[in-house]
């Protein structure tokens, strides 16, 4: 699922090599990605004030933009939330599709996905956990997004079931364990050291290792899973 008109138009380079876009508030620091600034600013305000409590003017000010400039990128607050969902959901689904076609064991497939998902979520300019607890938007478009999110869970459950059938994983309630795994990846952003990219990558590796090791069948070696994954990743 791709972002459509939400992406805005790409910015051009002005004199001095600095990116230029729509006019920004006088006190704002320059940014090469106003769209990301808006999303991050909106997420901060939504968490503090709720969706209804955060005005477009406040979001624009927080992002260092004038109100009219925000509308150049997003025609409404709802479109900002849609963009948040798309920006984390579409890459995750794409990763699952790619790994689903790779010649890998189910354990290596699962490990690579979990590690990738944590890094993806931590790299986002906002904390995705706000989206999970946000209940104000219940329109058809959000409903469609949450159906797409169910595909993430179904893919995880399928890996667990097929891995068990192949002798890679211990028997488990695949639906419950898939929920736990997705929750672990999504909530890693609340404590991971997101500004330290190297440390963030280590956290992703450690959490993915813990989750996969927890379901490996007796006699299966996590180091062997990682060695296999290294050839793909």
The DSSP string of the chain is ----GGG-PPPEE-GGG-EE-S-B-TTPPP-S-HHHHHHHHHHHHHHHHHHHHS-HHHHHHHHTB-HHHHHHH-SSHHHHHHHHHHHHHHHHHHHHHHHHHSS--HHHHHHHHHHHHHHHHHHSSS-THHHHH--S--SHHHHHHHHHHHHHHHHHHHHHHHHHHTTSB----HHHHHHHHHHHHHHGGGTS-TT-HHHHHHHHHHHHHHHHHTTBPTT--HHHHHHHHHHH-
pTM above 0.85, yes or no: no
pLDDT band at 233 (very low <50, low <70, confident <90, very high): low
Say yes or no: 153 and 108 in one domain.
yes
pLDDT tens for residues 92-112? 999 999 999 999 999 999 999
Choose one of 21, 53, 75: the last residue of a domain: 75
pLDDT tens for residues 144-202? 888 888 999 999 999 999 999 999 999 999 999 999 999 999 888 887 777 788 888 99
What is the extent of the structural domain holding 10?
5-75
Looking up residue 58, the CATH number of its domain turns out to be 1.10.10.60
Choose one of 32, 47, 75: the last residue of a domain: 75
């Amino acid at each position: 699922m791709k972002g459509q008109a939400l992406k805005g138009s790409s910015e051009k380079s002005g004199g001095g090599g600095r990116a230029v876009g729509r006019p920004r508030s006088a006190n704002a620091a320059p940014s090469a990605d106003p769209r990301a600034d808006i999303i991050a600013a909106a997420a901060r305000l939504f968490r503090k004030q709720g969706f209804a409590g955060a005005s477009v003017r406040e979001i624009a000010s927080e992002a260092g933009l004038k109100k009219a400039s925000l509308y150049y990128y997003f025609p409404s607050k709802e479109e900002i939330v849609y963009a948040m969902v798309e920006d984390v959901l579409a890459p995750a689904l794409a990763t699952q599709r790619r790994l689903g076609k790779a010649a890998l064991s189910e354990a290596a497939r699962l490990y690579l996905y979990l590690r990738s998902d944590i890094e993806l979520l931590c790299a986002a300019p906002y904390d995705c956990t706000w989206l999970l607890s946000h209940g104000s938007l219940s329109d058809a478009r959000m409903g469609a997004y949450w159906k797409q999110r169910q595909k993430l869970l179904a893919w995880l459950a399928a890996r667990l079931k097929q891995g068990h059938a192949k002798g890679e994983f211990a028997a488990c309630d695949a639906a419950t364990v898939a929920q736990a795994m997705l929750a672990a990846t999504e909530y890693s952003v609340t404590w991971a050291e997101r500004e330290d990219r190297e440390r963030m990558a280590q956290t992703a590796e450690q959490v993915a290792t813990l989750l996969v090791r927890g379901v490996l069948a007796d006699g299966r070696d996590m180091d062997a899973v990682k060695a296999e994954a290294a050839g793909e990743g």
